[in-house]
């Protein structure tokens, strides 16, 4: 918990699939799936109530760990969703439903949690490969481009996620957006000694950079890797995530940024309708949205 600089200052208008034109179309006629009234999705606000959010995270986590097989090396992401997945993984190991599973944690916190939940951790450099990685996300678009780094851990998350044969992203419905960068800034990890020139370069890319301040400590957030985090808002959203990801990383002094294109192999979306929770693939979620657009425009 270190974001003393509220993300709200970066909000440039809703970027959710349920906002803008799509919002009005989906609002009244969201279809039923398996008897579930998804019209309860509350598209007008696209806010998932905190109680529902916890239930969605749990459902996502259970679905994700169901993909793990005995003997696998698992990559553990960070954040509240990935933490629940670690907890669920620990349960399966404790119940002996999974054997010989080891995990690589993306940061200090994920390793601590793994040990707490009885998941054996190993160093990334001690394994030949990661079989499957789970991770949360701040935003995901319909092409599986991700925006990560709300917890300032995106650099090692990207290393783990890209090293994994399968990278499974866990997102509740509020994380799915039409365009990245509309509700979150892009976190950029920067060498402290290079902070000023990097800030200037980020402005030339059209960004509005702000150094992330620590909570309950004066001064900036310092990452597990000893660097600073600059949150860069893009007032019109991000048109080409893969391109911007590359351009930011080309700035000398930048360690890594939170745009993740071309790495997620699967995105699981947790949706809620009333008391019902369901986890579906992003592609199916998009199909539902598109079918509604067709229905309403017919």
Residues that bind ligand R5P (CB under 6 A): 77-82, 135-138, 148-154, 157
Q: Taking the complex as a whole, how short is the minimal distance between the CB of residue 200 and ligand R5P, in angstroms? A: 25
The sign of the CA dihedral 238, 268, 19, 21 is: positive
Question: CA geometry: angle at 151 spanning 239 and 169, to 5°?
Answer: 60
Using CA atoms, how far apart are residues 93 and 90, in angstroms rounded to an integer?
Answer: 5
Backbone angles phi, psi at 39, to 5 degrees: -60, -10
Residue with nearest beta carbon to ligand R5P: 79
Q: Taking the complex as a whole, how short is the minimal distance between the CB of residue 216 and ligand R5P, in angstroms? A: 18
Q: Are 149 and 229 in contact (CB under 8 A)?
A: yes
| Residue with smaller CB distance to ligand R5P, 131 or 224 | 224
| Residue with smaller CB distance to ligand R5P, 25 or 223 | 223
| Residue with smaller CB distance to ligand R5P, 153 or 167 | 153
Which residue blocks in the chain are alpha helix, DSSP H? Answer: 20-27, 50-65, 80-94, 108-116, 154-163, 195-204, 241-249, 282-297
Q: Taking the complex as a whole, how short is the minimal distance between the CB of residue 190 and ligand R5P, in angstroms? A: 15
Distances (CA, A) of 132 to 103, 275, 295: 10, 31, 38
Of 167, 180, 129, the residue nearest 266 (C-alpha): 167
Using CA atoms, how far apart are residues 80 and 86, in angstroms rounded to an integer?
Answer: 10
Q: Taking the complex as a whole, how short is the minimal distance between the CB of residue 129 and ligand R5P, in angstroms? A: 22
Question: CA geometry: angle at 75 spanning 84 and 226, to 5°?
Answer: 95
| Residue with smaller CB distance to ligand R5P, 43 or 151 | 151
| Residue with smaller CB distance to ligand R5P, 82 or 178 | 82
| Residue with smaller CB distance to ligand R5P, 56 or 93 | 56
Question: CA geometry: angle at 105 spanning 195 and 115, to 5°?
Answer: 130
Q: Are 177 and 214 in contact (CB under 8 A)?
A: no
Q: Taking the complex as a whole, how short is the minimal distance between the CB of residue 169 and ligand R5P, in angstroms? A: 9
Which helix or strand (DSSP H or E) is residue 215 part of?
A: none
Q: Taking the complex as a whole, how short is the minimal distance between the CB of residue 90 and ligand R5P, in angstroms? A: 17
Q: Taking the complex as a whole, how short is the minimal distance between the CB of residue 184 and ligand R5P, in angstroms? A: 9
Q: Taking the complex as a whole, how short is the minimal distance between the CB of residue 223 and ligand R5P, in angstroms? A: 10
Using CA atoms, how far apart are residues 264 and 55, in angstroms rounded to an integer?
Answer: 23
Using CA atoms, how far apart are residues 173 and 284, in angstroms rounded to an integer?
Answer: 12
Which residue blocks in 138-240 are alpha helix, DSSP H? Answer: 154-163, 195-204
| Residue with smaller CB distance to ligand R5P, 7 or 293 | 7
| Residue with smaller CB distance to ligand R5P, 79 or 273 | 79
């Amino acid at each position: 918990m270190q974001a003393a600089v509220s993300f709200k200052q970066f909000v440039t208008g809703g970027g959710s699939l349920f906002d803008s034109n799509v919002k009005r179309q989906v609002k009244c006629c969201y279809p039923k799936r398996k008897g579930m009234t998804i019209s309860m999705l509350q598209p007008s606000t696209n806010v998932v109530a905190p109680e529902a959010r916890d239930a969605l995270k749990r459902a996502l986590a259970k679905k994700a760990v169901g993909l793990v097989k005995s003997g696998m090396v698992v990559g553990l992401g960070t954040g509240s969703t990935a933490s629940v997945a670690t907890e669920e993984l620990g349960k399966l190991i404790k119940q002996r439903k999974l054997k010989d599973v080891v995990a690589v944690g993306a940061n200090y916190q994920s390793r601590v949690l793994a040990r707490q939940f009885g998941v054996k951790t190993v160093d990334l450099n001690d394994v030949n490969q990661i079989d499957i990685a789970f991770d949360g996300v701040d935003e995901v678009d319909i092409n599986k481009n991700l925006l990560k780094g709300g917890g300032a851990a995106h650099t090692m998350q990207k290393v783990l996620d890209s090293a994994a044969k399968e990278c499974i992203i866990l997102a509740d419905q509020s994380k799915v957006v039409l365009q990245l960068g509309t509700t979150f800034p892009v976190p950029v990890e920067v060498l402290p000694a290079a902070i000023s020139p990097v800030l200037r370069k980020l402005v030339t890319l059209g960004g509005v950079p702000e150094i992330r301040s620590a909570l309950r400590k004066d001064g900036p957030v310092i990452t597990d890797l000893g660097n600073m985090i600059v949150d860069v808002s893009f007032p019109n959203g991000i048109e080409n995530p893969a391109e911007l990801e590359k351009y930011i990383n080309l700035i000398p002094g930048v360690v890594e940024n939170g745009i993740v294109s071309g790495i997620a192999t699967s995105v699981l979306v947790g949706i809620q309708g009333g008391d019902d929770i369901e986890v579906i693939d992003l592609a199916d979620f998009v199909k539902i949205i598109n079918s509604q657009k067709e229905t309403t425009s017919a």
